[in-house]
Structure 1
């Protein structure tokens, strides 16, 4: 209870940091982090192929639905067998959940860290700058997130390429019998955007390291202020 009271009493709202690169870039990180994990999590797409038992038969639309976290074998679809009107249960191939979930996890934790540091910047700036510990910790955590964005975006970019191959109607039609032709492709614009947002976050978090570094004692002013009084002449 004492800690809570101390936090409330120590809160001093100051929007000034938003006008500085340190706070402004953190807001951009907060926004683009949301875009990154929101465009991946919750995605659902459908691949279409058409099947018919012979050249004169009616075409049957076959749809294979998939989505985040992209465990393809968990989404079966039915293909007509042309034998007594039966169907054959078929599964999409591949499990790409590890790269997708890793990417989303980095985004969620990055969002939480951005939220916490924005509260610190805007409400507890006096505590943040009171000692060098705050900027140093902020620097190392931000650098760690920049590295995680590099790894997760690269992994998810490769995973998305595999997802596109596994859901390509041309590939699905080859495994369909007796007569199948490719149909509509699933919309991938949202997932393409997620990879772009991932690498944009890499640039933002990596670039922000410089501005946080300037807040730490590691950064030395190349032009330190002179200790001589104005108008004082050396040697007098």
Structure 2
């Protein structure tokens, strides 16, 4: 019979419980990154004692080269400044990270549905556990790659929106009579948390691969072929 048989018992076992943890950590990973929006306030201290401010508002997917720092030709500290954008583009790493998180979120839901409703079919076939193990191992590797890429991309965002990044982007800041300083930083705590959840997901998925492997025929054949303790092998008759 291949029909639905609802059984919550797998949630009490590592196979199902860890999959539920993966579902939750994936939500935190893409939620903390994909929903970010922040603003840095840059103060310009002019030589004549006046102060002026600029705003740099950036958000996911962090295409900083499209974020205007100065819109239109304007005058700042008695200097004419043309349209200027931030420098950098971390969209590829951010979108890769969020994409892997969403993929893991969806796969965890499907796997939980199979565990809770079709575990009898899952265990009666070789394809189900082997496919589950292969996908779990691949996703664990993807978490390592995308988390490392996003950690580097996040550092690039911080560098481009910090004092040195703004100073090198805005030519006005390199003049002797103007000092530029970021006086209000966007709260990037959630972005830091997203990197932590990325590596946490890597460890959780790598650990879960072991429990999935135990359901495959490779594991059962390995241990069924070993003699039990205290069991002597009978020599073949001559």
TM-score (norm 1): 0.85
- Contact in 1 for aligned 2:90/2:153 (Cα 8 Å): yes
Show the counterpart of 1:12.
5
Name the CA distance, whole Å, in 2 between partners of 1:98 and 1:148. Answer: 14
Query: Any idea what SS the aligned residue of 2:184 has?
Result: coil
Q: Which aligned pairs between 1:60-209 and structure 2 lie closer than 5 A?
A: 60-78=52-70, 81-82=75-76, 88-173=82-167, 175=170, 176-177=172-173, 178-209=178-209
Name the CA distance, whole Å, in 2 between partners of 1:133 and 1:63. Answer: 55
Q: Which runs of 5+ in 2 are unaligned?
A: 232-238
Out of 19, 31, 38, the residue aligned to residue 26 of structure 1 is 19
1:170 CA drift (Å): 4.4
Query: Any idea what SS the aligned residue of 2:218 has?
Result: coil
Count of residue pairs the alignment pairs up: 219
Show the counterpart of 2:234.
none
Show the counterpart of 1:45.
38
Per-residue CA distance 1:77-100 (angstroms, 9 max, x = gap): 227623779764221101111111
The answer to which of 168-177 and 60-69 deviates more is: 168-177
Q: Which runs of 5+ in 1 are unaligned?
A: 1-5, 229-236
Per-residue CA distance 1:137-169 (angstroms, 9 max, x = gap): 000000000010011001111111111101113
- Contact in 2 for aligned 1:47/1:169 (Cα 8 Å): no
Name the CA distance, whole Å, in 1 between partners of 2:210 and 2:181. Answer: 54
TM-score (norm 2): 0.84
- Contact in 2 for aligned 1:49/1:173 (Cα 8 Å): no
Per-residue CA distance 1:98-142 (angstroms, 9 max, x = gap): 111001100011100000000000011111111111000000000
Query: Any idea what SS the aligned residue of 1:191 has?
Result: helix
Query: Any idea what SS the aligned residue of 2:101 has?
Result: helix
Query: Any idea what SS the aligned residue of 1:121 has?
Result: helix
- After the TM superposition, which parts of structure 1 deviate over 4 Å for at least 4 consecutive aligned residues? 83-87, 222-226
1:180 CA drift (Å): 2.5
Query: Any idea what SS the aligned residue of 1:218 has?
Result: helix
1:38 CA drift (Å): 0.8
Show the counterpart of 1:232.
none
CA RMSD in angstroms comes to 2.4
